[in-house]
Amino acid sequence: MLVAGNWKMFKGPAATAEFLDAFDPPAGVDVLLCPPSVSLAAAVGRGMPIYAQNVHWAAEGAFTGEVSPSMLLEVGVEGSIVGHSERRQYFGETDDSVRARCEGALEAGLGVIACVGETEAEREAGETESVLRRQVAAIPRHERLVLAYEPVWAIGTGKTATPELARQAHELIKELHDTRVLYGGSVKPENAAELLSQPAIDGALVGGASLVVESFAAICRAALT
């Protein structure tokens, strides 16, 4: 099982150090954290893999606000999230740019957590399967790549896909792409054990619940059951 904490735009360097001083990942589960870019250096070298939340495809260039794979590697970052739904929704990320970011990161030696998932409107229109097929088709195959299924309607809303819905989506994704698939979408200590017990779910991409030591530790422990 792999449990990844996506801190989004929370926790500067001081708060990152405070969290890592208090957090002791349980043995037997793979755990990594994805702090914001300003906190990556503060997190590296403190006992667990650190991933960025985004990465550009080019090694360098006139791309204001972006960070290259080689820059992440230089500070000790081991990988990056790519194509999170918030990047798609707010910053114009497309299937093509997701593919380019994945390829650039993987070619440089980084790991990747590539995100896919449908919006509420797409699910209500019966388009979940076609959306997942399109998004997964854009993602390269690689031993360092993991997929995360995040139903967009369940991110930051408190809604969670039922274990059955999550299982069905994960089974489809695994048919399309032979890799580990994490579930992301309002994962909390209260629902983690039931979600992570589904045979097609290989871990969790945790948002808000990863910001608190106790709740993130509880989710990590749930991955062991």
* pLDDT tens-place string over residues 76-134: 999 999 999 999 999 999 999 999 999 999 999 999 999 999 998 898 899 999 999 99
* Burial class for 158, CB neighbours closer than 10 Å (0-12, 13-18, 19+): exposed
Q: Are 186 and 153 in contact (CB under 8 A)?
A: no
What contacts 162, CB < 8 A, 6 or more positions away?
none
Please check the confidence at residue 186 and state whether its pLDDT lies above 90.
no
Whole-number pLDDT of residue 162: 85
Q: Which of 84, 118, 122, 170 is catalytic?
A: 84
Q: Which of 93, 118, 122, 150 is catalytic?
A: 150
DSSP symbol at 158: S
pLDDT average, residue stretch 43-53: 97
Weakest-pLDDT range from 60-64, 71-75, 103-107, 166-170: 166-170
pLDDT average, residue stretch 205-211: 97
What percent of the chain is predicted at pLDDT more than 70? 99
Whole-number pLDDT of residue 52: 98
- The rounded distance, in Å, linking the Cα atoms of 58 and 101 is 8
Which of 90, 96, 88 is closest to 115 using CA atoms?
88
Domains of the chain: 2-222 (3.20.20.70)
Please check the confidence at residue 158 and state whether its pLDDT lies above 80.
no
- The rounded distance, in Å, linking the Cα atoms of 102 and 122 is 24
pLDDT average, residue stretch 138-153: 95
* pLDDT tens-place string over residues 21-46: 999 999 999 999 999 999 999 999 99
Please check the confidence at residue 156 and state whether its pLDDT lies above 70.
no
Of residues 159 and 98, more confidence is placed in: 98
Query: Where residue 153 falls among pLDDT bands split at 50, 70, 90?
Result: confident
Whole-number pLDDT of residue 32: 98
Residue 84 annotated to the active site: yes
Q: What are phi and psi of 211, to 5 degrees?
A: -80, -15
